Structure 1
Amino acid sequence: MARTATWLVTAPVLLAAAAPAHADRFHALVEYACDRAGDTLAITYSGAYDEAGEARKAARGEDAWDPWDLLEIVDDEQGTRVTEIREVERTCPLSDARYRVVVRGAPGNGNILGRCGATASAQVRVWRGTELVFDEALEKDCHGGEPLVTAIELRPGAPPRVTRTPPLAFYR
């Protein structure tokens, strides 16, 4: 009887230890859309876990970027670190001005093994003509709990409309 009870306790532990580990991986994308007919410029930041995120990344067009793709990372005797930050630029002519958008990689930490080093986001800057109308990182400190910028919409003659989402809602 004691032997059976021991097996009933031990078996689930052994089975759990033998199961392959599965780590959830979140895949984020920054997407740009210039709708000249609708007179609107939109930038969105969204993501999904595992296969769904990988599928979104595989199906993305030329105006969508994974923040990690905007970073050059080197792993050598000096450590695992960001050595270059890339940026992409787009222009969108709307009825009131030509808008210029710059999306730049924003590492959580230049040392990938350091605090927040496992996170990457993007810095977005938008000019209406020569006036800078938006300049902000989409995601702040990975431990700060601040809402993320998940959408920026620009229309002629109006300030940017910014949507912010709490981290727990973004990473669900």
Structure 2
Amino acid sequence: MLAAIAMAFFHGQPQLAVIYGASPSLAVHGMATALVGPVGLVLTIIGVVVCPITSGDTALRSSRITIADELNLNHEKLVSRLKVAVPLFLVAFGLTFIDFGLIWRYFAWSQLIVATVVLYAASAYLMKIEKHYIIALLPAIVCTLISFGYIFQAPEGLLLPSGVANLLSVIATAIVAVLFLKYSFKK
């Protein structure tokens, strides 16, 4: 949400590049001061600093618990928790040395994949209860097309020329949609 506000506030990407080149905190300070005043500035700082820290903490803790559960490890004792937490922390720390823009693009793409799967699941459920499944299926198909299109032509993906990538995206999306419909109508 903050990115969308920044795009509107600074009139697009070129101005953002200048502001963020100096310091992202200047952009946040400028937007918060102009839009919500001094009290809102304090709340914005809390939202920009505190919330991501607690989200990261929650993500690492839930990852540790998930890994321990999958490996059937007893994680009641501190030593057992550290056996999973330390390698997990080291991987997370290692990710801080990678270009954040690259990580963010992969993260955004993976979130689109998750949303797409949920839309297909909702479509299947709506089919099962004989409701209007098209309301979830059409966005699922569009998300599938976007997901394929991105990974086929992105620099961090297959880096195919856009014409080839778009054609392959349409073909792959059609295959996924046909398989989904074929499988769903069988049940």
Same fold (TM over 0.5): no
In the superposition, the TM-score normalised over structure 1's length comes to 0.21
In the superposition, the TM-score normalised over structure 2's length comes to 0.20
Greater relative CO (CA pairs within 8 A, separation 6+): 1
Write 1 or 2 for the structure with the bigger share of strand.
1
